[in-house]
Amino acid sequence: MSEQEKPKKKPRPAPEKIIPTSKDMDATKKRVHPRFVTGKYQNIRLFSMYAILIGFLIAPWIRWNGRQAILFNVTEPKFYIFGATFMPQDFYFFAFVFIIAALMLFMVTVYAGRVWCGYACPQTIYVHLYQQVEKLVLGERNKRMKFDREPMSGSKFAKLALIHTIWGVFSIVTALTFMSFVVGIDELILNGNPLFFMEWSKLSWIFFGIITFVTHINAGYMREHMCVYICPYGRFQSVMFDKDTLIVSYDYERGEPRGARKKDSHPEGYGDCVDCTMCVQVCPTGIDIRDGLQVECIQCAACIDACNEIMDKVGYPRGLIRYTTERQLVEKQKTKIIGWRIFAYIGVLSACIVAAVLVATGRAPLEMEIRHDRKQLSTIGRDGMVKNSYVLKLVNKTDERNVYKVKLENANGMHLKARFDELPLDANEPYDLPVNITADPATLQAGSTPITITVYSKDGKYSASAQDVFIYEPPKGKK
């Protein structure tokens, strides 16, 4: 057959514009039952998700210097993080932590898209865990879908009860873990008392019920609706994408027109997509990646592993669905891995990290503040001495008990009197110490005289100083 007599390949139609319908936007659509698939990306995903989950569950049990290593005690309030104690006046440090976390998330999004959603988000982790319970009790995807359509019966009720019981155990463990970060694992379980919950306060029971209920509803019912309709990150992340952002994409030019065919055959006029719908079946949000980039896509890459498996079976190259960029897929150009936005994020992130480190390392182990008695700035006693009263607000921010003393620097005839000669403070204990300073009016000038008070530990390891003024107002008629 000559070249002119060979059948020409059918032109591939241009992709149609996708217009969302009321059905697409209906939050009451049927429950998504994804098929579980194995592959390179799913192995990475499972490892990251369950490593985070296990870390969350064991974190409250880690001890540091005899205390829970991570404890956010909101009743005192004090935060303990691996030996470091943060109090209300240290909360600006957490502002740095939140800013750094947000910048890291934004930087990762610019480069790798919604990789957080697919590999590390707690909602994704718990939804996957709860769906695995359904698979364990009901079976694979087709059986779970059939189970939904069945009328209620004794067998169905028993299976639902079993599923909800297992979910409930997971929800209770999650609630207890959350509470242990706030209440403390020792206080929560009362040192191993099997009836520890009988001693809980009403507030503890309220928070326990709320967290258990929210966990059960989110992972058991809300599922992909939380990602699609509620989570703000899924909405604003799209504006952070550019042509060089890695996204999960379907190669339309290579795959279309799609159609079924036998193994190792490639009918004339067809693309590589065999229209097996495996990419739809494995998607946890139930979308068809072949329709283009969608807000519902959490970039879990399940469709990539599923498609690669099908390509291997039919004898086609892998990568019909793959991680790629708009510049590479559409414009056929090389992806620019390093762009100006990455450098901007790195610069700002580095500055915030340096600032946070300086703040953390510069925290004083002993904190002191002087407050002058505002009711009566100065008085003259029966002995004719001028007296000023102060309150020294002290905080022992070390993790050990220390004994402190107080002295007046450069006294110049002034005398300091404290309620105690020595003040013992436990680890992280605050204390308000009243002190008086007296002076002979003959040695004073009218007005304010600067003073410096120093508090130091008995062993000489820690000290802190603060300044204020000594006020003298001569009686009328005297200079």
pLDDT tens sequence across 248-266:
999 999 998 988 888 777 7
Closest CA to 61 of 152, 201, 188, 153: 188
The CA distance from 162 to 153, in Å, is 14
Q: Once rounded to an integer, what is the mean pLDDT over residues 4-20?
A: 42
For tokens 């059960």, name the residue: 216
The CA distance from 443 to 440, in Å, is 6
* Higher-confidence position of 231 and 143: 143
The band of 112, judged by pLDDT with boundaries at 50, 70 and 90, is confident
What pLDDT is attached to residue 209? 94
Q: Give the DSSP H/E element, type plus range, for residue 281.
A: helix 278-281
Least-confidence region, from 16-20, 179-183, 278-282, 332-336: 16-20
Examine the pLDDT at 152 and tell me if it is beyond 80: yes
Q: Once rounded to an integer, what is the mean pLDDT over residues 26-44?
A: 82
Q: Once rounded to an integer, what is the mean pLDDT over residues 188-217?
A: 82
Please say whether the beta carbons of 449 and 472 come within 8 A.
yes
Q: Once rounded to an integer, what is the mean pLDDT over residues 83-105?
A: 80
Q: Tell me how far apart the terminal alpha carbons of the chain are, to the nearest angstrom.
A: 124
What pLDDT is attached to residue 15? 43
Tell me how far the alpha carbon of residue 470 is from its chain's centroid: 49
Q: Once rounded to an integer, what is the mean pLDDT over residues 148-169?
A: 94
Q: If DSSP codes are grouped into helix, strand and coil, which group holds residue 149? A: helix
Examine the pLDDT at 12 and tell me if it is beyond 60: no
The band of 27, judged by pLDDT with boundaries at 50, 70 and 90, is very low
Q: Tens of pLDDT along 320-378?
A: 999 998 888 888 888 777 777 778 888 888 888 888 888 777 677 888 899 887 777 78
CATH C-level class of 366-472: mainly beta
What pLDDT is attached to residue 193? 61
Lateral strand order in the sheet of 78-81: 70-73, 78-81, 84-86
What pLDDT is attached to residue 479? 52
Q: Tens of pLDDT along 36-46?
A: 999 999 999 99
Q: Cis ω on the peptide bond leading into residue 232 (within 30° of 0)? A: no
What pLDDT is attached to residue 23? 41
Q: Give the DSSP H/E element, type plus range, for residue 418.
A: strand 415-418
Q: Once rounded to an integer, what is the mean pLDDT over residues 203-223?
A: 92
What pLDDT is attached to residue 192? 59
* Higher-confidence position of 161 and 360: 161
The tally of CA atoms less than 13 A away on the side-chain side of residue 232 is 0
Name the amino acid, one letter, at 100. Answer: I
Give the torsion through C-alpha atoms of 195, 198, 204, 208, to 10 deg: 60
Please say whether the beta carbons of 270 and 261 come within 8 A.
yes
Examine the pLDDT at 8 and tell me if it is beyond 60: no
Instruction: Please report, for the chain, the start and end positions of each structural domain, with discontinuous segments joined by +.
Output: 24-363, 366-472
The band of 195, judged by pLDDT with boundaries at 50, 70 and 90, is low
Please say whether the beta carbons of 367 and 465 come within 8 A.
no
Classify burial at 304, counting beta carbons within 10 Å of its beta carbon; exposed 0-12, middle 13-18, buried 19 or more. Answer: buried
Any idea what DSSP says for residue 289?
G
What is the 3-state secondary structure of 250-310? ECHHHHCCCCCCCCCCCCCCCCCCCCCCHHHHCCCCCCCHHHCCCCCCCCCCHHHHHHHHH
Mean pLDDT, rounded, of the chain: 84
The CA distance from 144 to 139, in Å, is 6
The CA distance from 272 to 311, in Å, is 8
Any idea what DSSP says for residue 304?
H
